[in-house]
Amino acid sequence: MQIRIAGLSARTRRALVPAAVLLLAAVGFGVQRAIGGEDGHPGGAVAVPAGPRTADRIIPVPLSVAAGSGPGYRLTGSTVVRTVPGAEAVERQAGEVRRIAEQLAEALRRPTGLPLPVAAAADPAAGGGISLLLDPALPEATGTEGYRLTADATGVRITARAPEGLFRGTQTLRQLLPPQIESPRPVGGGPEWTVAPATVEDRPRYGYRGAMLDVARHFFTPDEVKGFIDRLALYKLNFLHLHLSDDQGWRIEVPARPALTKVGAVSEVDGTPGGFYTAADYQEIVRYAQERYLTVVPEIDLPGHSNAVLASYPELDCTGSARPWPYTGIEVGFSTLCPTGDEVFAFTRDVVAELARLTPGPYLHLGGDEVKKMAPAEYAAFVKRVNDQVVAAGKTPVGWNQTAPGGVGVLQFWDGRGGRDVELKEAAERGAKVIMSPSGHSYLDMKYESGYPLGLVWAGTIDVWTAYSWDPDSLVPLPAGSVLGVEAPLWTETLDTPGELDLMLLPRLPALAELGWSAKESHSWERFKTRLAEEGARWEAAGYRYEKRSEVPWPDR
Ligand code: TNX
């Protein structure tokens, strides 16, 4: 449900920003950090090979890619998308495979106008067309997300041990076609729809590859969130973290606590109308994400970042920390829920129960960042109690790295200042797992460079090179095996339209995606930026906005 009055949105006020952004990008101003070394920053122009897209262009770069020879496979009016039934054990997943085939066919039909019917093929060896095959005999190391793709003049074949792997393979297939394949409508006089010949073997480096959308500072409708999911799916991300509450707004209905949405959802940063998700809205987002093999991680930020809760239930404000409501500024750290007492934990229990009920995924994020008005012992005790409620509700708690003293088992690293990195290491030595979201590299709300019209700068500026040039396993010294993966948070204090999200996301999200998916040995800024340069045409075809950063050798630069 969106509370938004047409014409009053801050979106209107920002209408002039895109022009300014393009202008600034065109002038190519900016201070680049000086870095030496052969793979240094930002490098000069690199020639982008002309001609059809080839297999070495895929982002994130696959485990192994061999470009084939010959003309590749051309989609025609007689191309069929086949699902190939395999062993009995996998037949149970036949419905899921069929859905993946339908999704693929639908995506390819839109730009090509080809019929691309989906059919079950009796014979796995039957050539031609595009075939999707579950094959439990693939090496175990393939895992659930790995896949093998071969494309030659006779057809395209994707095999995987699980449906998820087939889906990831279909995202690679999209990238083997010309960029216009991303167009949501028929491409008149379009190109030949040829899949580049290739053999790809692929599987991810990390099991957790996420992005976070802050729907609290500015609300985004379910359809807008679906658009965000589309972008993540293309780069093989598998977690969507939704930041559902903060000082400026509470964004999910909790029937036992109706004031949270009656009062706490009415506005957002800048004072524009806010909004919230009903249970049905949220479940629709979860379903849409699931169909793209992304798991939703809901976050309720406690005990700080809680002004919207305090406005809704003033009795939870025993320290007088609330600001007048609605709160439309962007200061952090002032609000605090009552640290002790039955009422506050009855409240958190109600919220946790509802989120657990609505969320099929394993994780529930309890926030825990930037609490400036609680004694450390009180804070740790608070976190521990909510942590235990999450566990009792059958979910795995996740917290920002400050929650380490509260015993949270999955910690999202964002800020190592003030000895937090040491605290994190100690927690990891006790067995905690870590999701890497270093603010200086992966915060997509940081400006590309100073003077950029959108975003913040408190963690520095993040150009594409900075977003790409770090290693999740070694940025913070942690025991081997502690890192579950990576996540790119997109905070929205300064962003309130999908177009603005895109400008911050593209081209930096693919950098994060490659760090999360691709083998460490394959990381190379020189090669990455050349691959990235080809994505621009795909985003243009898709209607996505992106920032034409000067460190990327776009073909028409
Ligand atoms: C810090 S990162 C925050 C957020 C802000 C963000 C802005 C984190 C856990 N807390 O409340 O939105 O900076 O970049």
Tell me how far apart the alpha carbons of residues 172 and 149 are, in angstroms, rounded to a whole number.
Answer: 8
User: Is pLDDT of 20 > 50?
Assistant: no
Q: What is the pLDDT of residue 55?
A: 61
Taking the centre of ligand 1 as the mean of its atom positions, its distance from the CA of residue 33, in whole angstroms, is 24
- Tell the residue nearest (CA) to atom 12 of ligand 1: 491
List, in sequence order, every residue forming a beta bridge with 208; answer none if it has no partner: 485
Indicate if 426 belongs to the active site. Answer: no
* Per-residue model confidence as pLDDT tens digits over 189-240: 768 999 999 999 999 999 999 999 999 999 999 999 999 999 999 999 999 9
Please enumerate, as own/partner, the contacts of 88-91 that have beta carbons within 8 Å and a separation of 24 or more: 89/136, 90/134, 90/135, 90/136
Q: Whose CA is nearest to atom 11 of ligand 1?
A: 332
The yes-or-no verdict on residue 41 having pLDDT over 80 is: no
Question: Which atom of ligand 1 approaches the CA of 414 most closely?
Answer: 2
Write phi, then psi, for 486 (nearest 5 degrees): -130, 155
Atom of ligand 1 nearest to the CA of 415: 2
Task: Ligand 1, residue 330: give the atom nearest the CA.
Answer: 12
When pLDDT is averaged across residues 472-476 and rounded to a whole number, the result is 97
Res. 126 pLDDT band, cuts 50 70 90: low
What is the rounded average pLDDT of the residues 291-298?
Answer: 99
pLDDT at site 125: 61
Backbone phi and psi for residue 30, each to the nearest 5 degrees, phi listed first: 130, 155
The residues pairing with 160 across neighbouring beta strands, listed in sequence order, are 134
Please work out whether the CB of residue 400 comes within 6 Å of at least one atom of ligand 1.
yes
Q: Residues 337, 344: contact at Cβ < 8 Å?
A: yes
C-beta 414 within 6 A of ligand 1: yes
Residue-wise pLDDT for 132-166, tens only, equals: 999 989 999 999 999 999 999 999 999 999 999 99
Question: Would you state the pLDDT for residue 373?
Answer: 86
Q: What is the mean pLDDT of residues 438-445?
A: 98
Residue found by looking up tokens 């100690």 in the block: 426
Q: Which of 352, 424, 431 is nearest to 386 (CA)?
A: 352
Q: Answer whether residue 407 shows pLDDT above 80.
A: yes
Relative to the CA of 489, which ligand 1 atom is closest? Answer: 2
What is the rounded average pLDDT of the residues 470-492? 98
CA of 109 to the centre of ligand 1 (A): 41
The residues near 158 (Cβ < 8 Å, ≥ 6 apart) are 130, 131, 132, 133, 147, 148, 149, 166, 169, 170, 173
Q: How far apart are CA 63 and CA 205, in angstroms?
A: 9
User: What spacing in Å lies between the alpha carbon of 403 and ligand 1's midpoint?
Assistant: 15
Per-residue pLDDT tens digits for 497-553: 999 999 999 999 999 999 999 999 999 999 999 999 999 999 999 999 999 999 999
- Tell me the average pLDDT across 119-139: 84
How far apart CA 218 and CA 249 sit, in angstroms, is 8
Quote the ligand 1 centre to 459 CA distance (angstroms).
Answer: 10
Counting from 1 in the atom list of ligand 1, the atom nearest the Cα of 402 is 9
pLDDT for 19: 35
**Helix, strand, or coil here: 533?**
helix
Nearest residue CA, atom 6 of ligand 1?
491
Is the Cβ atom of 147 under 6 angstroms away from ligand 1?
no
Select from 288, 367, 364, 381 the least CA-distant residue to 335.
Answer: 367
91: CA distance to ligand 1 center in Å? 46
Q: What is the mean pLDDT of residues 362-378?
A: 95
Å from CA of 12 to ligand 1 middle: 25
User: Token match 């709300």: residue?
Assistant: 445
Enumerate the β-bridge partners of residue 64.
201
- Which mutation among 244, 305, 370, 417 tests ligand 1's pocket best, with the greatest number of atoms within 8 A of CB? 370
Tens of pLDDT, residue by residue over 224-238, are 999 999 999 999 999
Cβ of residue 114 lying under 6 Å from some atom of ligand 1:
no
pLDDT classification of 188: cutoffs 50, 70, 90: confident
User: Ligand 1 centre and the CA of 175: distance in Å?
Assistant: 33
Q: Are 13 and 521 in contact (CB under 8 A)?
A: no
Among 370, 378, 423, 540, the active-site one is 370
Residue 132, helix vs strand vs coil: strand
Is the pTM above the cut of 0.85? yes
Mean pLDDT calculated for residue range 120-131: 77
Average pLDDT, rounded, for the chain: 90
Instruction: Tell me how many helices (H) and strands (E) the chain has.
Output: 18, 19
pLDDT in tens, 54-85: 567 899 999 999 988 888 999 999 999 999 87
**Who wins on pLDDT, 50 or 406?**
406
Q: Is 491 in the pocket of ligand 1 (CB under 6 A)?
A: yes
pLDDT at 102 over 90: yes
pLDDT at 35 over 50: no
| Nearest CA residue ID for atom 4, ligand 1 | 491
Cα–Cα–Cα angle for 208, 213, 217, nearest 5°? 150
Q: Is the pLDDT of residue 13 over 50?
A: no
Tell me which residue has tokens 């696959």: 62
Ligand 1 mean position, distance from CA 160 (Å): 38
List the residue whose alpha carbon is closest to atom 2 of ligand 1.
414
Which two tokens mark 532? 């990235």
Beta strands in 29-72 (DSSP E): 64-67
Question: Using alpha carbons only, what angle is made at residue 182 by residues 177 and 185, rounded to the nearest 5 degrees?
Answer: 125
pLDDT at 330: 97
- Taking the CA of residue 493 as reference, the ligand 1 atom at the shortest distance is 12
pLDDT-above-70 percentage for the chain:
88
Q: Is the pLDDT of residue 273 over 80?
A: yes
Cα 156 from chain centre: 28
Vertex 267, ends 10 and 456: CA angle to 5°?
Answer: 55
Q: What is the per-residue pLDDT for 37?
A: 31
